[in-house]
Structure 1
């Protein structure tokens, strides 16, 4: 990578790993690695939560005074430049005598940004944008909160090749195979909240936990959220989830309301950065109609279910408010991944005014 050595690039990957040790919540996960002038490891650190030392200071605290002079600091997020519960990390690095700083993602905050500039003004060599795509993926939920004021939302569904989410009798387990289902559970474990509607809850009785292929639970579990006015049965499996259930009517997903905060505002207040909307078609479509979706995961199985009785075709999605082809909801495909016999299409919604590829 231009501007970095192989050891520095490897140290950035290590910083990403260290960041994952920190809690998900209102603050970003950040990792830091300190390298000596010869590229050898001096210290590592990560942010352990609100009010605790930031990753750079955590790493510096593991060294005796003066040991970081002339060192290189490799950080997954631009060192901050403001005083909150802790002091500016840029100043801490300057005072420690660090000679070079590499970071992956620029800090988008109005108050906290500017650390790179402050470091340069103090004579520190600074290189930004190192493995930036990987760094942004690490904290995409937090970045969405900073940019849009709401959590990052992923909508997932599984469908047959002909676009059906269930057979005519409503059964849907399992359309996709074991490899695709394992991928879903891995992604669940990376989310802070998982959302389903009462229709899915009453039909499938999901546990809404993130499980490994052997059935054991991942250490990180998303908060279960059920939307709809129907009651949750006393024997519903979701009530055995390791985290308390949040049950809301789903009438206000993200807008302003005199009757209290929207779901997105409430989840943000609870420290949720990443929301995984798993079903069913009514809830997925509601998030898409509301313009609250940042990522779509469509798991497509090579199977055909056809139509059921009239009005009972069990589509993967319901109405999106598209009355004419000009109103179609365009997506930008990020990847198409084979998962066993199935395919996963990862895409993001385009703005309504985006031109269609090939239009004159």
Structure 2
């Protein structure tokens, strides 16, 4: 597909600026234009607040103008908390609307509603870029499951650390900052109990070294009940979900619940917690994006179950040798996975390799036919 038009590029920039802060609504941007000049801009507010289109239309004369929006304007439906954007566009007297992508939750009815009101509507400008930006929302809408990002740091010889040699932290500050920026937009972070026991992580987003205003949900996998309720992951500031197996110790469960965490009981599959069941439960809680941060056994379980959508591999210029803990645990049977397309971002002294696994693919953009 062709590159987005300049006005749609601005709408996409606005959408990206609120990525992950609008759940369960999609992050959307809108730009109002008259005579080749931008009149106003808008981006979706946190849930319950104005959508991008309404924000762009507020307080301006939009009669005869063109509205560029990254996603199809919404329509009335039962339980809706905000006025429909399609109605606001019609009432404002907008002459033309350019939509990048149809919303699977709206299904073309928003475009049709505008056309029935005599508004010219074009669909498809920037569809590919917006599809890429909205991958978590699109997967959640289609399957009810969060979009899963596997994030790990690895040495040149495939190790994630070497505690016996005093190497527990691999990457430099630039890579750490990038990882915290990603934490800042995702809905949840997941680790296994082994990581909590070994590292006692806070699992908070700290871009620029400062705690973010919005913190992701913290998810811990602990089938056997090993995580201490005194761990830093239970500190105030964000919800915590602990996924465990039927039959984990009752006293431990009671202690975890007393921290304020939510306890999820999962079935086992081949001796491991049923991860797809976990993802369904997270999706029902409006968690659209999930970063899996490890450790190696947890990563292997997600890859073996074909549940990883995107990989963020931070490669550090070290060789850890025989002291290194391998990224792929002994006995794991990972499939061959091709990452495509690949983005390589230098974060000196490290490199980020990022790309999609193909486990799930967004539906091809559906373009509403012109009338």
TM-score by length of 1: 0.81
Whether 1:71 aligns to 2:65 is yes
The count of residues paired between Structure 1 and Structure 2 equals: 332
Cα distance in structure 1, aligned partners of 2:67 and 2:195: 48
Q: 2:154: which partner in 1?
A: 159
Among 119, 124, 127, the alignment partner of 1:129 is 124
1:1-360 to structure 2, matched below 5 A, reads 6=6, 8-9=7-8, 11-13=10-12, 15-16=14-15, 19-20=18-19, 23-41=21-39, 43-50=40-47, 52-63=49-60, 67-84=61-78, 85=80, 86=82, 88-109=84-105, 111-167=106-162, 169=164, 172-213=167-208, 215-228=209-222, 229-249=224-244, 252=266, 262-308=277-323, 314-318=325-329, 319-322=331-334, 327-350=335-358
5+ residue gaps, structure 2, are: 246-264, 361-371
Q: SS in structure 1 opposite 2:322?
A: coil
Cα separation, 1, equivalents of 2:118 and 2:303: 48
State the secondary structure of the residue aligned to 2:26: coil
Classify the secondary structure of the residue corresponding to 2:225: coil
Q: Do the aligned partners of residues 295 and 89 (structure 1) sit closer, same or farther apart at CA in structure 2, a change above 3 Å counting? A: same
Q: Secondary structure at the match of 1:218?
A: coil
Partner of 1:356: none
SS of 1:249 mapped into structure 2: strand
Residues 170, 157 of structure 1: CA spacing in aligned structure 2 closer, same or farther, 3 A cutoff?
A: farther
> For residues 51 and 254 of structure 1, what CA distance do their matches in structure 2 show?
37
Shift in Å at residue 30 of structure 1? Answer: 2.2
1:244-275 per-residue CA deviation (whole Å, 9 max, x = no partner) reads 321112785999xxx9x922122122221110
Which secondary structure state, in structure 2, belongs to the residue aligned with residue 291 of structure 1? coil
For 2:241 and 2:114, locate their aligned partners in 1 and report how far apart those are by CA, in whole Å.
44
Q: Which runs of 5+ in 1 are unaligned?
A: 353-360
Which has the higher relative contact order, 1 or 2, with Cα contacts under 8 A spaced 6 or more apart? 2
